[in-house]
Structures are given as C-alpha cells and as structure tokens.
Amino acid sequence: QVQLVESGGGLVQAGGSLRLSCAASGRTFSTYAMGWFRQAPGKEREFVAGISRSGGATYTYDASSVKGRFTISRDNAKITVYLQMNSLKPEDTAVYYCAAAPGYIGGASSKDDAYAYWGKGTQVTVSS
C-alpha cells in the first residue's frame, strides 16, 4: 500500500506561482511513475503532468494549456514529486491530486486508470 499526501495548495492571484508537493510512503517510490491530475467544480478529472520512474521523462497535458507554465519533477531520495505552477490563471482553479502507477514502464500515463494510488488532493484557487 502506498500513501500519498499532497501539500502546497492555497489561494493565489492570477499571474502568481505555487509549488505543490506530494510525499509518498514506502521504499519503492522509484519504481512508480507519478502523475498530477486536477478536477475543477462540475468538470471531470483531467491529467496535468506525469513523470517517469527515474524522472528522465516528463509529460504535460497540452489541451489544458499548462504546458510551458507547469513543471513536474521528482526527488526519489526524498520520495516526493513536485508540481511547479507559474503564471497561474483563474481557470487553473481545481483540486489537484497526486497519483502513483506502480511498475509503469515507458514513461507516465495520462490515463487515470493507470494509477493505482491517489492522494486526497489539495485545493488551488486562483483569483482574478
């Protein structure tokens, strides 16, 4: 069983930045691909960014226009994955979830059914 705990959310003005963190439990963190998803009120959960087990490959969801503004990274020694969010917009307001895909090979999936473990989420609110 893997436990994921997100932190770093909050209220920020448009144009500001936040860095989300997701701390994982367990000694096999380096064998998980990791992802960040978000869910805005009344909308379906959507993929934001993913990172491979080693951190050598990252993926960002183009359609949500976060590419170029959001950066995913991980520190396997600290068993933590991060989401740096810059130039935030009101439409980025959502609950952000961290997810782990044990044993995922070949990068990171944008499909939520590839992820076996989920955190409880952290709220990000961007005011205009």
Closest CA to 36 of 26, 15, 51, 24: 51
Instruction: Report pLDDT for 65.
Output: 80
Task: Yes or no: say if 88 and 14 are a contact pair by the CB < 8 Å rule.
Answer: yes
pLDDT digits (tens, 9 = 90+) for 36-53: 999 999 999 999 999 998
Which pLDDT tens digit goes with each residue over 61-118? 765 588 889 999 999 999 999 999 999 999 999 999 999 998 888 788 888 999 999 9
pLDDT of residue 105: 82
Residue type, 28: T
